[in-house]
Structure 1
Amino acid sequence: MDTLTTSNTAATADIYRPALHYAARNTWLNDPNGLIFHNGLYHLYYQNNPLGNVWGNMSWGHATSTDLLTWTEHAVAIACDENEDIFSGSIVHDRHNTSGFSAGSDGPLVAVYTSAFKPGSLHEGVQAQSLAYSLDGGYTWTKHGGNPVLNRGSAEFRDPKVLRYDGGAGSYWVMVAVEATDFQVVLYKSDDLKNWELLSTFGPANATGGVWECPDLFPLPVDGDPENLKWVLTVNLNPGGPNRGSAGQYFIGDFDGTTFIPDSTVTEGFQDPDRLGEYQWLDWGRDYYAAVSFSDAPDNRRLMIAWMNNWEYANHIPTTPWRSPMSLAREISLQTRDGNVCLVQQPAGDWTALADRDTYRLAETTINDGVQVLKSAEGTVQRIDVSFTPGSAEEFGLILRGDGVTGTRVGIRSSEGTLFVDRRKSGQTDFHDSFPSIDTAPLQAASGSYDLTIFVDRCSVEVFAQYGRVTMTELIFPAETSTSLSVYATGGAATITSLQVTQLS
């Protein structure tokens, strides 16, 4: 294996390089690809421009981790060439060598990816699905000589996520891909990963304000009950998110090995823009896109990572020489809340291992109209756990990475039932007109309380509200000296029932 650097611990003068999130050493990245746990390692492949820090020359970059917190970057795994760019896809462990790519007993890793064929190539202008295989645990890859293995003659057919289905209909591989501009998920089956048969299609449905990309399909037990399984179909779209630009949505339903059958909450056809707030979003922030889950995660956990950026301004964010981080890894589950089954997300990993020094704690405190700086709670890389009880205040919350007055506001307006992130004064915002924003999500109190867990990194804020029922992910680019943490209320008072700040490194 060819190790390049441990990205999160590399010495750098770049004040925005994340401490908690993966970013490539000195190149561009976008969609996570080929997520798999294999031989004790989490493998993160991703769309990568190995020659620059803006989108182009699409290849698969590669990083590994033992704990989902610290990542080691490796050499480019699958490179573009004169015939094709290597677009998004997935990896499976072909344990029984159904593909015939391995003579060994363990079976190969097989990558199923989109070939975006270039001008002058045999399939010019077409996007089709192709294979590559690895016999050394995922570090070197050989493209299949019979590529592409699935060609619909379409210019917008991409992003295959492959899973192994074992159920009443039989045992076989299932590919979930998209016809992006038709707002349609297409499902295929195969016995050998090389020959594919159409099963069914899904969509258009719910949000259709932009192309559909990067689907995923997986089962989850409801409330941890293995006898009550539901299937989750995720699909990302750009633009058309609830707060503009890139976003990901999900559907809950059933899959019988042929057809995904959504629950009755799905709105068929094309979206009404006024109904975006009714749909089920993976994340309500501006910077959580192309989310997909790991194959073969230990203990049947469902772990997901997304690209932490937005196509409205992705090529312009003020980082160098790298551009774009990944989100934190999240463990997702299905839970019943207020009589409805919904997706719940929690940050994955042992966060106690990253605690850097004494934890700051604030006892129950009433916040009156105004801003209160919390001395000794300043920092640039933090986990914040806070619980609010609303009072007479019209708005209350926290100011992160601030200068004592301004910063990134994470606030709640209980009368409106909204959580918001206001990054208009979060630091450097003038690199693109669409970056300064106030982004909102629906949020209701639970037993009279609002509970937030917030991860602050050098260029991001990730909010997990009501124990992961609602999440918001946002890039920020504060000054290096903006380290203060404040609490505030406007138009009245609110109460902090508990607050704990853990410095992380």
Structure 2
Amino acid sequence: MTPISQTTTAVTPLRPSAHFTAETSWLNDPNGLVHHDGLYHLFFQTNPFGSTWGNISWGHATSTDLVSWEEKPIAIPANEQEMAFSGSAVVDSRNTAGFAADGETALVAIYTSARPPVGEAPGLQTQSLAYSVDAGTTWTRYSGNPVLDIDSSEFRDPKVFWHGGDDGHWVMVVVEAVARKVLFYTSPNLIDWSFSSGFGPAHATGGVWECPDLFPLQVDSTGETRWVLVVSMNPGARAGGSGTQYFVGDFDGTTFVAERLSTSDDPDSYDWLDYGRDYYAAVSFNNTPDGRRLMIGWASNWDYANKTPTAPWRSAMSLVREISLTRTADGRCRLRQTPVLPVHADGVTVSEHLIPLDLGQRSTIVLDTDGVGHEHVRLHFERDEAGAHLIFEREDSGLTDFHSTFAAPNRVPIGTHLESPMNVQIVVDATIIEVFLGDGVQTVTEQVFPAAPLRSARTVRHA
């Protein structure tokens, strides 16, 4: 592989402590999220040779608490035949693929093989396997790759899970990116796949669809089980550039049916996983203890991801969020997201603020450096004839001139289903701000690049 380097004239001295970053390299989509033998495994898209996108391989990190991560050697390196694009990992406890010997359990990664162009023919994207029989320490590519090939250059990002009991089957959720379609395949063994159905295009279609996920959740107020289909899209998200939407519905093992499809072309009529500019490609962990649904996203945006002012690392993951489903006062099922936070403060610079707000009164929350510098972020809460909204301003947050739109404000509608007074939880960790409105029914994630940590939060009430 040819090394890629990046030179910057000014970089932030800050690095997040509770948001995972690769030590010395580029990072994007989370991959292969799985729990096994007491460890959470986070795989991720990385360039082992530089801090911009390229030479894409699967990096690897592990954690016991979802906050402190230990980076491991590259799990699936790019080679001359392919780059290893996004995908998922499963614990093949039934040994359906036959990779494990007696006394072993195989972890199986299902990833997109991004093959280079041949002559005038475009490069193909196919689905391939790699497996580990030593608890994720080393990985071997399956000799029969690819296991799914539809002769497409825009076919990627498989999320795989087991559906049903002992008589169940594997399900693969994958996208035809440019067609804005989610496809569903089934398999008895992770190797032989049969097409089942498709979903889409629907709702936001202004960019390619990527990084799908599908999982069941019980509605907290009724106990009914609904399925949530998550789809990321770039560009064309409601806040600009990259973003992630979701659909709530039913899944019978082969077909997903959404319970609500908006007929409006207003993006605010859709369900967005996050309303900020820096939450993308979010997917959930497989095989979590006690059936918890835990999700992590890439805290960046393709508009400026290759230019953010950090070195030698670039990009971070979001905090892990525990996901639940609630039916709000307007009758709709919506996701609630609760951050997994550090349990102690030793060596951790995370600031958390919980602020009750009256949505009937104009207010501004100011995050600043507590006198160390002049950098700050303003969160304006206002109401007009269109309803309540939050304006996230990062114009004076530090380094902003690396991209023409980075400093522009983000106007976020606050759903009418959120009651007043509303709790606002703000988590600040060096370059990442995550805002949770109404106990996490609506979230906003944004990057900032100050010279000193934004430790202080004060609320200004306006007449």
- What TM-score comes out, normalization by structure 1 length? 0.84
**Displacement after TM superposition at 1:446 (Å):** 4.8
Report the AA paired with residue 242 of structure 1.
R
Q: Decide which of 246, 259, 263 is 2:259's aligned counterpart.
A: 263
Please state whether the residue corresponding to 1:277 is helix, strand or coil: helix
Tell whether 2:463 aligns with 1:465. no
- What's the counterpart of residue 485 of structure 1? 457
Q: Is the 8 A contact 1:28 1:323 kept in 2?
A: yes
- What's the counterpart of residue 365 of structure 2? 397
**Displacement after TM superposition at 1:395 (Å):** 4.0
- What's the counterpart of residue 302 of structure 2? 311
Q: Is the 8 A contact 1:401 1:426 kept in 2?
A: no
- What's the counterpart of residue 440 of structure 1? 411
- What's the counterpart of residue 362 of structure 1? none
Q: Deviations over 1:302-347 (max 9, x none)?
A: 0000001000000000000000000000000001110221111000
For 1:237 and 1:16, how far apart are their aligned partners in 2?
29
Aligned pairs for 1:419-458 (under 5 A) are: 419-443=390-414, 444=416, 446-458=418-430
Aligned pairs for 1:358-397 (under 5 A) are: 381-390=350-359, 393-397=361-365
Please state whether the residue corresponding to 2:355 is helix, strand or coil: strand
Q: Is the 8 A contact 1:26 1:53 kept in 2?
A: yes
Tell whether 2:100 aligns with 1:102. yes
- What's the counterpart of residue 294 of structure 1? 285
For 1:224 and 1:381, how far apart are their aligned partners in 2?
32
Paired residues in the alignment total 447
The change in CA–CA distance for 1:484 and 1:135 in structure 2 (over 3 A counts) is same
Q: Is the 8 A contact 1:399 1:488 kept in 2?
A: no
- Point out where structure 2 has 5 or more consecutive residues left out of the alignment: 1-10
For 1:108 and 1:249, how far apart are their aligned partners in 2?
32
Q: Is the 8 A contact 1:288 1:309 kept in 2?
A: yes
Tell whether 2:71 aligns with 1:73. yes
**Displacement after TM superposition at 1:74 (Å):** 0.4
- What's the counterpart of residue 87 of structure 2? 89
**Displacement after TM superposition at 1:264 (Å):** 2.7
- What's the counterpart of residue 123 of structure 2? 125
Tell whether 2:188 aligns with 1:191. yes
Moved more, 70-79 or 480-489: 480-489
**Displacement after TM superposition at 1:348 (Å):** 2.0
Report the AA paired with residue 335 of structure 1.
T
Please state whether the residue corresponding to 2:168 is helix, strand or coil: strand
Q: Is the 8 A contact 2:244 2:279 kept in 1?
A: yes
For 1:424 and 1:380, how far apart are their aligned partners in 2?
23
% same residue? 49
For 1:19 and 1:406, how far apart are their aligned partners in 2?
20
Q: Deviations over 1:222-263 (max 9, x none)?
A: 11655x100000000001111101000000000011110001
Q: Is the 8 A contact 2:212 2:283 kept in 1?
A: yes
Q: Decide which of 191, 206, 210 is 1:209's aligned counterpart.
A: 206
**Displacement after TM superposition at 1:407 (Å):** 1.3
The change in CA–CA distance for 1:225 and 1:102 in structure 2 (over 3 A counts) is farther
Q: Is the 8 A contact 2:375 2:450 kept in 1?
A: no
Please state whether the residue corresponding to 2:231 is helix, strand or coil: strand
Please state whether the residue corresponding to 1:456 is helix, strand or coil: strand
For 1:328 and 1:105, how far apart are their aligned partners in 2?
35
Please state whether the residue corresponding to 1:354 is helix, strand or coil: coil
Q: Is the 8 A contact 1:303 1:331 kept in 2?
A: yes
Q: Decide which of 109, 112, 126 is 2:110's aligned counterpart.
A: 112
- What's the counterpart of residue 175 of structure 2? 178
Divergent runs of 4+, >6 A:
none
Q: Is the 8 A contact 1:401 1:485 kept in 2?
A: no
For 2:442 and 2:110, how far apart are their aligned partners in 1?
32
**Displacement after TM superposition at 1:15 (Å):** 2.2
Moved more, 424-433 or 50-59: 424-433
**Displacement after TM superposition at 1:277 (Å):** 0.7
Q: Is the 8 A contact 1:400 1:407 kept in 2?
A: yes
- Point out where structure 1 has 5 or more consecutive residues left out of the alignment: 1-12, 358-378, 493-505
Q: Deviations over 1:261-287 (max 9, x none)?
A: 0013344xxx83xx1111100000000
**Displacement after TM superposition at 1:354 (Å):** 2.0
**Displacement after TM superposition at 1:139 (Å):** 1.5
**Displacement after TM superposition at 1:118 (Å):** 1.6
**Displacement after TM superposition at 1:488 (Å):** 1.8
Tell whether 2:351 aligns with 1:354. no
Q: Decide which of 343, 346, 356 is 2:335's aligned counterpart.
A: 343
Q: Is the 8 A contact 1:284 1:440 kept in 2?
A: no
Report the AA paired with residue 383 of structure 1.
E
Report the AA paired with residue 174 of structure 2.
A
Q: Decide which of 356, 360, 381 is 1:412's aligned counterpart.
A: 381
The change in CA–CA distance for 1:481 and 1:347 in structure 2 (over 3 A counts) is closer
Please state whether the residue corresponding to 2:163 is helix, strand or coil: strand
For 2:59 and 2:174, how far apart are their aligned partners in 1?
21
For 1:279 and 1:482, how far apart are their aligned partners in 2?
32
Q: Is the 8 A contact 1:441 1:470 kept in 2?
A: no
- What's the counterpart of residue 243 of structure 1? 239
Q: Decide which of 227, 231, 235 is 1:231's aligned counterpart.
A: 227
Please state whether the residue corresponding to 1:100 is helix, strand or coil: coil
For 1:111 and 1:264, how far apart are their aligned partners in 2?
33
- What's the counterpart of residue 282 of structure 1? 273
**Displacement after TM superposition at 1:447 (Å):** 4.8
For 1:189 and 1:445, how far apart are their aligned partners in 2?
37
**Displacement after TM superposition at 1:120 (Å):** 4.7
Q: Is the 8 A contact 2:351 2:455 kept in 1?
A: no
- What's the counterpart of residue 7 of structure 2? none
For 1:54 and 1:322, how far apart are their aligned partners in 2?
9
For 1:380 and 1:331, how far apart are their aligned partners in 2?
22
Moved more, 244-253 or 479-488: 479-488
The change in CA–CA distance for 1:395 and 1:39 in structure 2 (over 3 A counts) is same
CA RMSD of aligned residues (A): 2.2
